[in-house]
Amino acid sequence: MKRGGILELALIVATAVGLALAVQAWAVKPYQIPSQSMEPTLDVGQRVLVNRVGTHFGDPDVGDIVVFHPPVGAAAEDCGVNPAPHQACPQPNEKESDTTYIKRVVAVPGDRLQVVDGHPVVNGVKAEENFALPCHGAPSCNLRRPITIPPDHYFMMGDNRPASDDSRFWGPVPKDWIIGTAFMTYWPPSRVGIF
């Protein structure tokens, strides 16, 4: 191969790698499901593709499955304020964590939210959620004292309600912390599909 051909091949490979990295950084990114919190919708080890562009041009909707950064202290269920008894955490810590979570949006800015038998009750209407696992009476299953979701914040819950570390414990998530919306599962092959 001539020197010009090698240079051209190197340029093509470098461009392809650069484009692949750019797409992953700004448009679509793969994520692996790390825990049981989204079962039965998403299993541990399952892989999804996340649209990183959409949240920059629009707002997430109730029912969307999103990848986001939780507040610092989320793993310790650290709320930004002391919630009243039988109340979900109304406000997160102000510092963003560098870890990523994947959950379902159940309430959007301005919504009044309660949790009854593990299901969100938003503005007085109990959500129809045939995908969610039963909560079985844990204290976090019944948070009947309402909270109002602050402006530019979203309340997240895992579909595996008794085994999900979510906004019930550490509060609504600011829009700026949302990485993107999951739109497709691509692994394992038996679970390939679009949400």
Task: Specify the pLDDT at position 28.
Answer: 74
Name which residue leads in pLDDT, 50 or 5. 50
Please determine, looking at this structure, whether the domain spanning 30-194 carries the CATH number 2.10.109.10: yes
- 190 a catalytic residue: no
- 2 a catalytic residue: no
Rounded distance, CA 56 to CA 181, Å? Answer: 11
Phi first, then psi: what are they for 108, rounded to 5°?
-120, 175
Per-residue confidence band for 192, with pLDDT thresholds at 50, 70 and 90 = confident
Q: Which of 174, 182, 162 minimizes the C-alpha distance to 71?
A: 174
Rounded distance, CA 98 to CA 173, Å? Answer: 14
DSSP-assigned letter for residue 73? T
Catalytic residue among 2, 95, 97, 103: 103
Q: Calculate the average pLDDT of the chain.
A: 86
**Contact by Cβ (8 Å): 169, 140:** yes
Range among 2-6, 14-18, 177-181 rated most confident: 177-181
Catalytic residue among 2, 29, 35, 37: 37
pTM: predicted TM-score of the whole model, two decimal places: 0.84
Tokens 């919708």 locate to 41
Task: Specify the pLDDT at position 17.
Answer: 55
Per-residue confidence band for 118, with pLDDT thresholds at 50, 70 and 90 = very high
Return the number of other C-beta atoms located less than 10 Å from residue 140's C-beta.
Answer: 19
Tokens 């470098």 locate to 14
Amino acid at 35: S
What are the structure tokens assigned to 74, written together? Answer: 């989320």
What are the structure tokens assigned to 155, written together? Answer: 């309340």
| Domain chopping of the chain, boundaries | 30-194
